[in-house]
Amino acid sequence: MLNISKKTKIVATIGPASNTLEKVRELIDAGMNVMRINFSHGTYETHKIIIDISKQLIKEHIYIPTMLDTAGPEIRCHFFENGKVEIIKDSIVTIHMKEILGTATEFSVNYPKLVDDIHVGDMIKIDDGKLRLDVIEICKQKRVIKVKAFNTHVISNRKGVNIPGERMTLPALSDRDRKDIKFGVENGIDLIAASFTRRAEDVIQLKEYLKELGAPDIPIIAKIENKQGVDNINEILEVADGIMVARGDMGVDIPPEEVPVMQSDIILECRKIGKPVIVATQMLDSMQSNPLPTRAEVSDVATAIKEGADAVMLSAETASGQYPVESAAMQQRIAITMEQFLPYTQLANFGYNYSKKKRSDAIATSVASTANLIDAKAIVCFSETGKSAIRISKSRPKCPIVMVTSDPAAGMRVAPYFGIFSIVVKTLPQLIEDMEAFALIKMRQLGLKPNDNVIITGGTPTGTGSTNFLRIVAVNELGDI
């Protein structure tokens, strides 16, 4: 059964706290729309468990896509004794370019060229900036960096390492990423989130690699998490299929007080072009260990929705936290509340004003505007590719868009978009009358009541790639079905 109670999508990271079929079902009921698999952690065995859960759900006609989140060109610590160590304020620590087992006085990183790229006086930030290390000496001959700890903090295995302001010579697509993506493609991954996207060329390289693997149609969500990515957002948007505002590393690479401004700007650019934007990182961070979020976290999620995000994301909250289902349910409740107050008339006009103003754009805006005027409870869009539903989503109607398609990949592809929910059928109805009958039956199954208005739209004959009709019907027009 589709959960269409809210239109803002929830991307939930699946991990040890949630990687069972039973727990995934609970997350779906709580509002999850996309399952994120973080390839910076876990093994291929654990990743395959999650992909197999998605395949099991497909057999039950539940389409929840899996999103492979790459490790990306990211610098990380190697492993530590007992999994974690405490670095003490003012202590001198040696960072090795060759892998060692880390202690409180020395550890290693996975980027051997760091010693060549960094300078004395630079800051090294670890674990989303929670530990700051100041570079006091560089020894290129020994391939080590000496740092002084600015504060005390416990760091654990494979925590991220950032050097604010420095432009590292990291490859866009590492050997590890290639291996991970190949595994994902072979096992049926649906979406790819490309970490640390810095420029359009990074996305183009990934697209070329997907072509080599025979999977050119897998959508790429470019993760913006450093200053280069922010500066190049428009060129990245031209080639990516969507954007993720990954605020953790972004708030380390640029001043944290600038992150809300960057978030607003990126959301606006995505809205103009009609590509989905996901806001991520620390949204309900305290719910890793508490059953309720802080009020600031609630405001953070609400602000992202108000600004126009298609989706909000949960990371450790659902992957390893104590309250994974409660975290998703909380985001769902925030979304339901905020969506009552969105300026839908303005949003419909915005969608058309920033479109190419083709006939299909006019129809999409008309569908959204009409739905708002008659208080429609759903829009049923018959769309083979999903393009018609995506155009309607750009105009942000007040009611959900139920997309009917015969292409399972299209059903998965639209999952990150605001308001679109997919029903996959073997073949699409050919006649408008058959579309109406199918739509009304499905709407009753989804809980719509007699006299509820529904808008039905699509193209006839189906498969022409052109939306050319709009019908307004009431749920009871075909009698008690």
Question: Is 301 in contact with 284 (CB distance < 8 Å)?
Answer: yes
4, part of any domain: no
Number of domains, the chain: 3
Q: Is the pLDDT of residue 479 over 90?
A: no
Each residue's pLDDT tens digit, 389-437: 999 999 999 999 999 999 999 999 999 999 999 999 999 998 888 999 9
Assigned domain for 138 exists: yes
| CB atoms closer than 10 angstroms to residue 201 | 14
For residues 259 and 137, state if they share a domain.
no
Whether 200 is in a domain gets the answer: yes
Whether residue 275 is found in the same domain as residue 329: yes
**420, 393 Cβ separation under 8 angstroms:** yes
Say yes or no: 330 and 355 in one domain: no
3-state secondary structure of 411: helix
Phi first, then psi, for residue 332 (nearest 5°) are -65, -45
Whether residues 184 and 300 share a domain: the answer is: yes
- Residue 3 falls inside a structural domain: no
Asked if residue 114 and residue 245 are part of one domain, the reply reads: no
Query: Is the torsion defined by CA of 77, 82, 86, 92 positive or negative?
Result: negative
Q: Is residue 1 part of a domain?
A: no
Q: Which residue has the tokens 């990954």?
A: 246
d(CA 244, CA 194): 9
In a domain, 43, yes or no: yes
With a cut of 70, say whether residue 328 has pLDDT above it. Answer: yes
Region 75-101: mean pLDDT is 97
Mean pLDDT of the 93-104 span: 98
CATH of the domain at 447: 3.40.1380.20
Where does residue 396 fall: left (phi above 0), alpha (psi -120 to 50 degrees), or beta otherwise?
A: left
> Looking at the predicted structure, is the pLDDT value of residue 170 above 90?
no
Q: What integer is the mean pLDDT of 44-51?
A: 98
Considering the domain architecture, whether residues 358 and 446 belong to the same structural domain is answered as yes
CATH number at 146 reads: 2.40.33.10
Where residue 168 falls among pLDDT bands split at 50, 70, 90? confident
pLDDT band with cut points at 50, 70 and 90 for residue 147: very high
Domain finish residue from 339, 354, 376: 339
pLDDT at 464: 58
Residue with the bigger pLDDT between 155 and 171: it is 155
pLDDT, position 399: 98
Q: How far apart are CA 266 and CA 237, in angstroms?
A: 10
**Enclosing domain of residue 131:** 75-162
Identify whether residues 384 and 403 lie together within a single domain: yes
**Annotated catalytic residue, options 23, 76, 146, 158:** 76
Nearest Cα neighbor of 169 from 115, 129, 121 is 115
Q: Residue 320 maps to which CATH number?
A: 3.20.20.60
Whole-number Å distance between alpha carbons of 31 and 40: 25
Q: Do 129 and 177 belong to one domain?
A: no
151 and 13 in a common domain: no
Q: Which amino acid is at 73?
A: P
Residue 459 pLDDT grade (very low, low, confident, very high; cuts 50, 70, 90): confident
Helix (H) or strand (E) holding 54: helix 44-59
Catalytic member of 9, 159, 223, 377: 223
Domain-embedded: residue 167: no
Residue 178 — φ and ψ, nearest 5°? Answer: -60, -45
Q: What single-letter amino acid sits at 264?
A: S
Q: Rounded to whole angstroms, how far apart are CA atoms 37 and 193?
A: 10
End residue of a domain, out of 94, 128, 162: 162
**According to the model, what pLDDT value does residue 63 have?**
96
The pLDDT-based confidence of 74 (bands split at 50, 70, 90) is confident
Backbone region of residue 377 per phi and psi (left: phi > 0; alpha: psi in -120 to 50; beta: other values): alpha
Reference 334, options 375, 362, 363, 293; nearest CA is: 293
Q: Number of H helices and number of E strands within the chain?
A: 17, 22
Boundary (domain end) residue, out of 323, 339, 355:
339
pLDDT of residue 481: 37
- H-type alpha helices, 193-343: 200-212, 227-231, 233-239, 247-253, 259-273, 295-307, 316-319, 324-339
Q: Any catalytic annotation for residue 281?
A: yes
Residue in 66, 70, 197, 281 annotated catalytic: 281
Banded model confidence at residue 198, pLDDT cuts 50, 70, 90: very high
Per the prediction, the chain carries an average pLDDT of 94
Question: Is residue 254 over pLDDT 50?
Answer: yes
Mean pLDDT value of segment 313-332: 98
pLDDT value of residue 444? 92
The pLDDT score that the predictor gives to residue 465 is 60
Catalytic residue among 9, 36, 125, 207: 36
Q: Same domain, yes or no, for 188 and 315?
A: yes
Domain annotation covers residue 193: yes
Q: Is 217 left (phi over 0), alpha (psi -120 to 50) or beta?
A: alpha
Residue 480 pLDDT? 43
Q: Is 76 a catalytic residue?
A: yes
pLDDT digits (tens, 9 = 90+) for 212-233: 999 999 999 999 999 999 999 9
Residue 283 above 90 pLDDT?
yes
Q: How far is CA 240 from CA 82, 180, 237, in A?
A: 40, 19, 5
Tokens of 62: 């539940």
Question: Among this protein's residues, is 223 annotated catalytic?
Answer: yes
User: Tokens at residue 58, please?
Assistant: 């497909």
- Are 134 and 261 within one domain? no
In this structure, the answer to whether residues 14 and 87 fall within a common structural domain is no
